[in-house]
Structure 1
Amino acid sequence: MAAGLKALVGLAFLGSIGLLFLFLACALPSYNNWWPMFTIIFYVLSPLPSLITRRFTDDLSSTSALKEFCYFLTTGIVLSAFALPIVLARAPSGATGEETVIATGACFLVLMGNLVMFLTIYGLFMIFDNEDGFEYSNWGSGF
């Protein structure tokens, strides 16, 4: 039980590091642009297909059409989260076309934040896979 809580605390720490990268990409005075904050939408949307799969399939070890479709949707969401800052770093912001919407450094920080956040979300799903009996509903019984 304590190992699961340590892993959960570690994942919370990693999630805060990922959000720190995202906030730095937006709030540093040299960047000062809040467009990269739209990637938070992808952080919220990415676990939804997997949660739908876990809700409507009885056996997670077998393959089903719903499970494969939800993997496809998750892949599209994660890919979109990585593509958004790259597109914003390449898109011209003004009429002259010399300046981009976000700076290259901000794009790099958002990509690093995406990497950390999606690995954290993946780790969270691995912890709550219920093969070792550690699940959210058991937290109240151990205290």
Structure 2
Amino acid sequence: MAGIKALISLSFGGAIGLMFLMLGCALPLYNQYWPLFVLFFYVLSPIPYCIARRLVDDTDAMSNACKELAIFLTTGIVVSAFGLPIVFARARLIEWGACALVLTGNTVIFATIFGFFLVFGSNDDFSWQQW
């Protein structure tokens, strides 16, 4: 039952984050859809860590290069997701208010993705590795 509550909480967080992203795009004051390119970063961010987790045996206590590279690539993707709206705002493609809404949405979405890996990443009775 705790897994279902966590899943509902995570989906609520994802919906709130996407709402901030949509508000930054669709409000009549802003009306520019350039910030939707951040969606690519939302999809790409968990991929390196998921690949590394399938390739790496977690029995050793030492960190290994594959896992460290995956964390490095994930960090680069997350930083790029925060930098893209700022670049758009500096180039005057979007307004600064839209940039603030998109950055708020980024914070909520990436916290939700991180929470997903905390809740479902190390649990032995539930695993995505069967897929």
Report the TM-score, using the length of structure 2 for normalisation: 0.92
Contact (CA 8 Å) 1:127, 1:134: kept in 2 or not? no
Aligned equivalents of 2:84, 2:19: Cα separation in 1: 18
Aligned to 1:108: 100
Question: How far is the alpha carbon of 1:131 from its aligned partner?
Answer: 3.6
**What RMSD in Å do the two structures reach over aligned CA positions?**
1.7
Aligned equivalents of 1:87, 1:135: Cα separation in 2: 38
Aligned to 1:96: none
Aligned equivalents of 2:76, 2:87: Cα separation in 1: 16
Which amino acid is the alignment partner of residue 115 of structure 1?
A: T
Aligned equivalents of 1:37, 1:9: Cα separation in 2: 24
Question: How far is the alpha carbon of 1:130 from its aligned partner?
Answer: 2.9
Aligned equivalents of 1:131, 1:39: Cα separation in 2: 30
Aligned equivalents of 2:80, 2:122: Cα separation in 1: 29
Task: Tell me the SS of whatever aligns to 2:93.
Answer: coil
Task: Tell me the SS of whatever aligns to 1:84.
Answer: helix
Unaligned runs of at least 5 residues, structure 2? none
Q: Which has the larger radius of gyration?
A: 1
Aligned to 1:88: 88
Which amino acid is the alignment partner of residue 50 of structure 1?
A: Y
Q: How many residues align?
A: 129
Question: How far is the alpha carbon of 1:134 from its aligned partner?
Answer: 3.4
Report the TM-score, using the length of structure 1 for normalisation: 0.85
Aligned equivalents of 2:122, 2:63: Cα separation in 1: 18
Aligned residues: percent identity? Answer: 57
Aligned equivalents of 1:130, 1:119: Cα separation in 2: 17
Aligned equivalents of 1:136, 1:66: Cα separation in 2: 20
Task: Tell me the SS of whatever aligns to 1:29.
Answer: coil
Aligned to 1:75: 75
Unaligned runs of at least 5 residues, structure 1? 92-99, 138-143
Which one of the candidate residues 119, 123, 130 is aligned to 1:127?
119
- TM-superposition CA deviations, 1:38-65 (whole Å, max 9, x none): 0000000000011011110011753111
Task: Tell me the SS of whatever aligns to 2:125.
Answer: coil
**Bigger mean CA offset, 52-61 vs 29-38:** 52-61
Aligned to 1:95: none
